[in-house]
Structure 1
Amino acid sequence: MKKFIIAIATLLVLSIFLSACGSSGSSGGGGDTVTLKLAHSGSDTHQYQTAAAKFKGLVEEKSGGTIKVEIHGNATLGSEAEVIEQVMDGTIDMTTVAADSSLANTVPEMNLFGIPYIFENREHVYSKLDGEPGKKLLSLIDEHNMKGLGFWEVGFRHLTNNKKEIKTPADLDGMKIRVQPAPVWEAHMAALGASATPVNFNELYSALDQGVVDGQENPLPSIHSMKFYEVQKYISLSAHTYTPAVVIMSNNTWDKLSDEQKTVVEEAIAETTKYHRESLAEEEAEIIEELEGQGTVINEPDRAAFKEATKEVKDAVKDQVPAELIADMEQH
């Protein structure tokens, strides 16, 4: 009898242990709590982080706490290229990355966003990203064991340097400009007479500070959040390209989510997108005022001259970006 009681007690303890293990998993289904690991390369105030934090709040609220989001910023889990690889193999659940950076080396069509002056303004951009051209681009990500969930904001990109005010393309002649590691940017800088120098985003401040490069190009919120203005005296509002932050999830993770969980994630992505666009538009005007007050020289260059000088850049990526996709995006 005693042995029988001990055996029953042992089975009961084992049952409780297995039940506890089953309720702490990080995959969907069965009522388990899902923990999504989201990595990015931006600072604690970068656009990536503000969007990720908003997404986290929305997902956790909408799911009643059954979906949790862990944010790993500041490239703590690797550069954008490294994180993309980890999302593809399922080591990391999610990331948000610049479309025309390392992602373009996996999904060549993303080089589209490095083509100068194909977008006239924000309204033009959003109509395309939210329409069929944007859906087509996201679908291409699915071919690489990743799911494209949407487009958050990085913004229109501007030139900075620490040598002189940039008014025309000729002012860039011979300058070393940091670019994103994608083919389109080599052609872009060559058209302006500058030397394209790829540098990981999380290493850019140091490269600017040490003179490895003379300048770089990024949206105002990036320049501000990463404190590039501390080592760059001049900002030229060239608005030469627009970069979206593509939100990507590993298919390994997506396939484990229940239909209800997928709906929660998609709704949170869409709401974050709207919030992000509105908040960053307001922020840009404040950044200009703040930086000018600190002595940064900010000017409006001859955009028509820049557009003319770079009009052949699209030809450099014709093998990566279908002409019809470019035409779809350009049509206003």
Structure 2
Amino acid sequence: MQRRFLLGGAAALAGFAITGKAQAQTITLNGASQFNDEHAFTRCLARFEELVKQYYGKPINFILHKNSSLGLEKQYFEYMAQGRAVDYGIVSPAHMSTFSRAAPFIDAPFLFRDLAHWNKVMDQDLLKPIGDEVEKRARVMLVGYAGGGVRNIFASKPMATVADLRAVKVRVQGAPIWSRTFSAAGMSPTVIAYNEIYNAIQNGVIQAGENEAAGVEQMRFFEVAPNLALTQHAITVRPICFSSAVFTRLPPDLQAAIRRAGAEAGAFGRQIESTEDSQKIDALAASGRLKKIEFTERQALLEKVAPVMAAYAKEIEADGIMSRITAVTS
């Protein structure tokens, strides 16, 4: 006699099955990554798998679907919220805005002063209230925080001052705070799917995009936009997400292993991405594929967007969190 319980994934892939009293229960968890094996996010998820297996200590199967084979991060988050197809993955907070208005504030542009400030915020777990809201509203748990990539603007023309940014068509993430802050900076922001950025720049639909080093390298944006303006406008926070619908059906000892592994894998992801970020940019520049351009008016840029950031934080009732983040000394 056979009983099957599907845990999130597609029927052919996911779930755990009990195939008889004599056989042990086998659980299969499906993850997703937009990137290949070398990307920091994929390596972070691989580390998560290793740690879960180590701490659980019982047979368990993981299937990590790479290279966008199950779509993009926005779809991954929706699948996890629905408890199907994807059980875990790394998702940009911008893609959580449908469920939680506060979620994109986790790594809003112009929120962190520098990497040292970002590290202190992570160490003090100041983002927990937003994580709790995401879990409540979207039924997706944020079990760890990866990221650490410094985001800059890559463009088809050199840009070094605020005046150079004026009216430049730039691709931004879908959360409102990105469009608002880049508009305040004088640019013309537009939301385009991540996998369409390259062609959009190549065809002149947009002139620029913004990303951390790993994305610029992986997606080869330097081929169509070889000028990198070092605006350092954001430092990424990339939550390791896990479907609450799936999590609640797992054994307690596996739940504990997932929580422990998530926190440790997040720290691992932060370490590798923040360490490798500048190395990747330097390597692209040394090979002549990318031209680094010092942005000389960063303070002026921050001053232009500061009122927008403050108003948005108040609007989404995250002004208290913003105050605590701002107060952290690096």
Task: Quickly name the TM-score band, shorter chain normalised.
Answer: 0.7 to 0.9
* Equivalent residue, structure 2, for 1:78: 71
Partner of 1:313: 308
1:75–1:202: 8 Å Cα contact kept in structure 2?
A: no
Greater Cα radius of gyration, structure 1 or 2:
1
Query: What SS does structure 2 have at the residue aligned with 1:270?
Result: helix
1:63-212 map, 5 Å: 63-64=56-57, 66-91=59-84, 92-99=86-93, 101-113=94-106, 115-143=108-136, 144-153=138-147, 155-164=149-158, 166-212=159-205
The alpha-carbon distance between structure 1 residues 277 and 73, as it changes in their structure 2 partners (threshold 3 A), is same
Give distance in 2, aligned partners of 1:216 and 1:154: 18
1:300 paired to 2:294: yes
Counterpart-to-counterpart distance in 2, 1:36 and 1:131: 30
Specify the alignment match of 2:327 in structure 1. 331
SS at match of 1:310: helix
Alpha-carbon distance between aligned partners in 2 of 1:227 and 1:258, rounded to the nearest angstrom: 42
Residue 160 of structure 2: SS of its match in structure 1?
A: coil
Cα distance change of structure 1 residues 317 and 183 upon mapping to structure 2, 3 Å threshold: farther
SS in 1 for 2:30: strand
Matched, 1:50 2:43: yes
- Asked if the contact 1:25/1:32 (under 8 Å) is kept, the reply is no
State the identity as a percent.
24
The two structures have a TM-score, normalised by structure 1, of 0.86
Aligned AA (1:211):
G
For residues 119 and 25 of structure 1, do their structure 2 counterparts lie closer, same or farther at Cα, with a shift above 3 Å needed? Answer: closer
Change in CA separation of 1:44 and 1:162 when aligned onto 2, cut-off 3 Å: farther
Whose helix proportion is higher, 1 or 2? Answer: 1
* Structure 1 runs not aligned, ≥5 long: 1-16
1:18 aligns with: 2
Question: Aligned in 2, Cα 1:152/1:316: closer, same or farther, shift over 3 Å?
Answer: same
The structure where strand makes up a greater share of residues is: 2
Contact 1:113–1:241, Cα closer than 8 Å, also in 2: no
Which runs of no fewer than 5 residues in structure 2 stay unpaired?
6-12
Deviations 1:282-310 (A, max 9, x none): 31232122111222210221211211221
Farther-moved stretch of structure 1 (83-92 vs 281-290): 281-290
Match of 2:318 among 319, 322, 330: 322
Letter of the 2:143 partner, please give it.
Answer: L
C-alpha distance in structure 2 between counterparts of 1:27 and 1:328, whole Å: 43
> CA 1:129 to 1:108, structure 2 compared with 1: closer, same or farther past 3 Å?
farther
Q: 1:39 touches 1:71 (CA, 8 Å); kept in 2? A: yes
Give the number of aligned pairs: 312
